[in-house]
Amino acid sequence: MSGSFPATPTYLGFNAPVRAEVDVYDLEVTEGAIPPDLNGTFYRCGPDPQFPPKLGTDIYLNGDGVVSMFRFANGHVDLKTRYVRTEKYQLERAARKALFGAYRNPFTDDPSVIGKNRGTANTSVLWHGGKLLALKEDSPPVEIDPDTLETIGTWTFDGALTSRTATAHPKVDPVTGELLFYGFAAKGETTPDIAFYAADASGKITREVWFAAPYASMVHDFAVTEDYVLFPIIGLASDLERLRAGGSHYAWDATLPFYVAIMPRSGGAEDIRWFTGSSRFVSHILNAHNDGTLVHLDLPVAESNMFPYFPNTDGTPFDRSRAVSSLCRMTFDMSSSGDGFTQSELAPIFCEFPIVDPRYATREHRYGFLPYVDRALPPPAGLGGATGLNFNCLARVDVRSGALATHVVGADATSQEPMFIARDGSTVEGDGYVIAVINRFDEQRSDLILLDAQNMDGTPIARMRVPLRLRNAFHGTWVSRAQRDAA
Ligand code: V55
Ligand code: FE
């Protein structure tokens, strides 16, 4: 390789590119024991740049996608990681250097790759309709072999995907098995168009609704309830002129109002209600549900942009003190005629990456499972995570009372996004396990921990030693053996 990775936090210490594909057979269990009935696979996806950035520097979000899997059976777990063979990955591998430039800025690419797929498949993994898909919100899904992690190719739902993009945060309705998802910037970079899709349990697209947001911005996640779909619109706006000038795809414009579009699940664009309020930042959604025409949306909310690497349009520097979230509930009344809504705090914790027991997704939930930052604890000596947040705690939060059951992940450690695993045979919300990759700065390697979801502050059920460093991933999924066999 000619050149090397720049000495910036994105590429140093725990964030140093791993660039390897590994198989570790039978991880060492250093604490507790793996329950013999735990049978399935924890898949996750995150960025790991194959080559140093073309422009000398880059943001964490633009690394090449690596899918990893922890496969559990008979009290043992094996690890496998593989790069997703995107078109970008293959073109750059052949050239032995980066050809694509800045995050979501095709104007910075090498002329030899104009018009090629810029997708990195680096954000999440979905299991639906018997397919495992690696997702990135700027491009169509990429199908992956669920056993070998070999890349099968771009998946456009048999050509039915008319949007140029597909979100990394699709939702599966646990009652109907339907997949609900959307693409934003659906007509091309910086377009305000959103295309919403529903697919049946087999993955066949059955419905498509196009509409336009009031302005073009990052629509990273959305929410689904039994009767509605919700699209939050935040002021992390995109701008074609800035892209042409080689600038950042997104910039935070605090003058732009916050909106939430709510559409009946069976409705069309003409049925959308737009609710609005003053500027605020939201990204990942815990869950949403509706009680008749009252729609409740639970999610971390911050005053200002939480991505340090996207600039403010007013020229002010990133201000962490205004980028501290807490877990909130927004409530929208679909029977009202106004465009306002209420917001209350569920728990005053600096959190992100919340997840719900997937059997309660789209329906009323009581618990959220999430990493949070306890700022009263000394910060880890090692380098912070991908989002710049040092999640030193993992918790179950009871949204009815705000009560927390917390596992402190270690003095010099942080947690990645957890995943919930339902106990086989149980239907009780929150009965199962919470699994997470832990960044061990003290040993410059990772652990995998398994917690009792109903006893998060107890001793971990099992701790598994990962004898190497896994970079911060974004999102994942659990596929039980039973779900896999049913496909
Ligand atoms: C996020 C992650 C992305 C992205 C946009 O919130 C937002 C996370 C890993 O890629 O492109
Ligand atoms: Fe995300």
Distances in Å between the Cα of 339 and the Cα atoms of 194, 244, 289, 297 are 20, 35, 19, 16
Tell me what pLDDT residue 385 has: 56
Nearest CA to ligand 1 atom 4: 61
Tell me what pLDDT residue 1 has: 83
CA distance 101 to 379: 34
Tell me what pLDDT residue 2 has: 78
Q: How many CB atoms lie within 10 A of CB 392?
A: 24
Tell me what pLDDT residue 426 has: 94
Tell me what pLDDT residue 107 has: 98
Q: Which of 220, 283, 310, 475 gets mutated to test ligand 1 (max ligand atoms within 8 A of its CB)?
A: 220
The DSSP bridge partners found for residue 260 are: 232, 275
Tell me what pLDDT residue 487 has: 87
pTM above 0.95, yes or no: yes
Q: How many CB atoms lie within 10 A of CB 188?
A: 11
Tell me what pLDDT residue 383 has: 67
Per-residue pLDDT tens listing for the chain (487 residues) = 878 999 998 999 999 999 999 999 999 999 999 999 999 999 999 999 999 999 999 999 999 999 999 999 999 999 999 999 999 999 999 999 999 999 999 999 999 999 999 999 999 999 999 999 999 999 999 999 999 999 999 999 999 999 999 999 999 999 999 999 999 999 999 999 999 999 999 999 999 999 999 999 999 999 999 999 999 999 999 999 999 999 999 999 999 999 999 999 999 999 999 999 999 999 999 999 999 999 999 999 999 999 999 999 999 999 999 999 999 999 999 999 999 999 999 999 999 999 999 999 999 999 999 999 999 998 888 766 555 789 999 999 999 999 999 999 998 999 999 999 999 999 999 999 999 999 999 999 999 999 999 999 999 999 999 999 999 999 999 999 999 999 8
CA distance 88 to 421: 33
Pairing mode of beta strands 462-466, 76-83: unpaired
Tell me the two tokens of residue 256.
């732009």
- Ligand 1 centre distance from Cα of residue 392 (Å): 21
Cβ of 137 less than 6 Å from ligand 1: yes
Nearest CA to ligand 1 atom 11: 61
Cβ of 436 less than 6 Å from ligand 1: no
Ligand closest to 168 (CA) is 2
Q: Which of 100, 137, 391 gets mutated to test ligand 1 (max ligand atoms within 8 A of its CB)?
A: 137
Which atom of ligand 1 lies nearest, measured to the CA of 283?
Answer: 6
Tell me the two tokens of residue 348.
């005053």
